[in-house]
Amino acid sequence: MNNKTILIVDDDPAIRYAFKRTFEHKDYSIIEATNGQEAIDIISKKIPLLVFMDITMPKMNGLVALEKIKETGSGLPVIVITGNGNMDTAIKAMRIGAYDYLTKPLDVNKVRISAERAIEMTNMKNKIEELQKELTSTQKDLGTVIIGKHPMMQDLFKKIGVISTTPNHTNVLILGETGTGKELVAKAIHENSFNYNEPFQAINCTVLPENLLESELFGHEKGAFTGADNKKIGKFELGGKGTLFLDEIGDMPESLQKKLLRVLQERTFERLGGNSLIKLNARIIAATNKNLKQAIIKGKFREDLYYRLNVIEIILPPLRERKEDILLLTDHFIKKYNIKLNKNICGFSDDVKNLLIQYNFPGNVRELENLIERAISLERGEVLTIQSFPPEIFSLRNIGELELPIYTRDFISAKKIIVESFEKKFLIERLKETNGNVTEASKISGIERQSFQRLMKKYDLSSEEFKN
């Protein structure tokens, strides 16, 4: 049944009439109440689609009525209206759970926009109510699941299954940009292996200085060096028959590369300051965002170590190459952070959907996750909208074309978006026209060469892209 009922709660009949005139052309059914208690009585019999609630009213004021509505757990959106727009009242209304806060005299456009957003949120919530019911049942798996329907991801899942059945002396090298989920893949291999009950030890090769990294990997005996007051068990030993994940292996110091090669060849090692051989039983999974073949050519990475690590190679695609997975990942992160942050976000608006698909995500899946966590943390409603995200995230440097719902922006940010769209397109056309000749392009544009180059840098444009 299509609910198109809006409840107007205000003791001023002129205000109620104004709301009726505002929404009658949209075929909404308007119900009126003169105070909070009357509103509560109406809602107990029939829950409307939306409520506009004045604060200062006889019998029961709007904030008390708002509290009682929220206690029912119905999720009914309430937009508070008041003639006294002070900070404390606004904060209190939003804390209680108002969807929005409007001050008198009311701006008709603002009223309509606020109503449309609240109704969109309600419709979205109803559509995916069943999805929300799955949150509890999936809570256990949210931290380790890998999401993806793209063929490259399906191939990855198959590869993980195969690798998990291989012996622990079969090393794995994971290659991919920052944020593509290299550690997540390493954990998936471990958790699906026969030794899943054994430890998973991870260490980042860029975090520690060389001497501490060596101690972290191999351990040390008491007195092995200044400050070694006690014996330390290293990651190679702590890993047992589990998995040792060496992240950012491309940044490992060259002296340690030689020692690691020996360990992988012999499958034994010694603690620093010790002389007893200890057997390496763990599987070694290494990962890097660097081009190791280029590093080998430059003499910064050992070729023999590369081939010893690269028994099985996994290449993770950047998120921009599997855009069909963006919305799946977004749904997944909404579930995850609803649980972590005790929120009830039920989805995202169509304009957010379009922007997420267009955005290139230089930080890959990690950046998407951080965006969703931030948006859910700050969102006061139940649907993520463009306003839930920082404006700079969807700048034209990242999305390329102007397909933004400008009407949802304030004047300054809307103007910025339009100007950036024009500037970027203008530069591209001039560079195409001159085959990437910056001097000629700036000349026919009537712009100084330095200014033209600054704009190119602003939009990450290279003259080489336009040379035939």
Arithmetic mean of pLDDT, 444-453? 90
| pLDDT value at 104 more than 70 | yes
Q: Identical fold at 5-127 and 151-316? A: yes
Write the CATH number of the domain with boundaries 5-127.
Answer: 3.40.50.2300
Burial class of 79 by CB neighbour count within 10 A (0 to 12, 13 to 18, 19+): buried
How many CB atoms lie under 10 A from the CB of residue 329? Answer: 21
Element (H, E) at 414: helix 411-433
pLDDT-based confidence at residue 231 (cuts at 50, 70, 90): confident
DSSP-derived secondary structure for 27-73: TPEEEEESSHHHHHHHHHH---SEEEEESS-SSS-HHHHHHHHHHTT
d(CA 453, CA 463): 10
In this prediction, residue 306 carries a pLDDT of 96
pLDDT-based confidence at residue 258 (cuts at 50, 70, 90): very high
CA atoms within 13 A on the CB side of 34: 6
CATH architecture classification, 131-149+325-383: Orthogonal Bundle (1.10)
In this prediction, residue 176 carries a pLDDT of 93
Beta bridge partners of 285: 172, 245
Query: Domain 151-316 falls in which CATH fold?
Result: Rossmann fold (3.40.50)
| Dihedral angle, C-alpha 88, 114, 368, 193, nearest 10 ° | 90
pTM for the structure as a whole: 0.60
Query: Domain 413-466 falls in which CATH fold?
Result: Arc Repressor Mutant, subunit A (1.10.10)
Arithmetic mean of pLDDT, 415-435? 83
What are the pLDDT digits (tens) for 260-270?
999 999 999 99
| pLDDT value at 116 more than 60 | yes
Taking each helix axis from N to C end, the angle separating 210-218 and 254-266, rounded to the nearest 10 degrees, works out to 10
Residue for token pair 């023999």: 304
> What 8-state DSSP symbol labels residue 446?
T
What are the pLDDT digits (tens) for 70-96?
888 777 899 988 877 566 677 778 878
| Phi, psi (rounded to 5 degrees) for 467 | -85, 130
- Cβ–Cβ under 8 Å, residues 299 and 341: no
Burial class of 40 by CB neighbour count within 10 A (0 to 12, 13 to 18, 19+): middle
Token pair recorded at residue 241: 């028959």
For the chain, what is the mean pLDDT? Answer: 84
| pLDDT value at 402 more than 60 | no
d(CA 54, CA 34): 9
Please indicate whether residue 227 or residue 221 has the higher confidence score (pLDDT).
Answer: 221
Specify the range with the lowest mean pLDDT, choosing from 177-181, 416-420, 426-430: 416-420
96: Cα separation from own chain's centroid: 27
pLDDT-based confidence at residue 410 (cuts at 50, 70, 90): low
pLDDT-based confidence at residue 409 (cuts at 50, 70, 90): low
In this prediction, residue 202 carries a pLDDT of 93
Domain boundaries, the chain: 5-127, 131-149+325-383, 151-316, 413-466
d(CA 423, CA 461): 12
b (16+ CB within 10 A) / e for 436-460 = bbbeebbeebebeeeebeebbeebe
Alpha helical stretches, state H, 143-302 = 151-164, 182-191, 210-218, 235-238, 254-266, 292-297
Specify the range with the lowest mean pLDDT, choosing from 170-179, 379-388, 431-440: 379-388
Arithmetic mean of pLDDT, 412-425? 77
In this prediction, residue 465 carries a pLDDT of 78
Range from 19-33, 174-188, 373-387 that averages highest in pLDDT: 174-188
d(CA 120, CA 126): 10
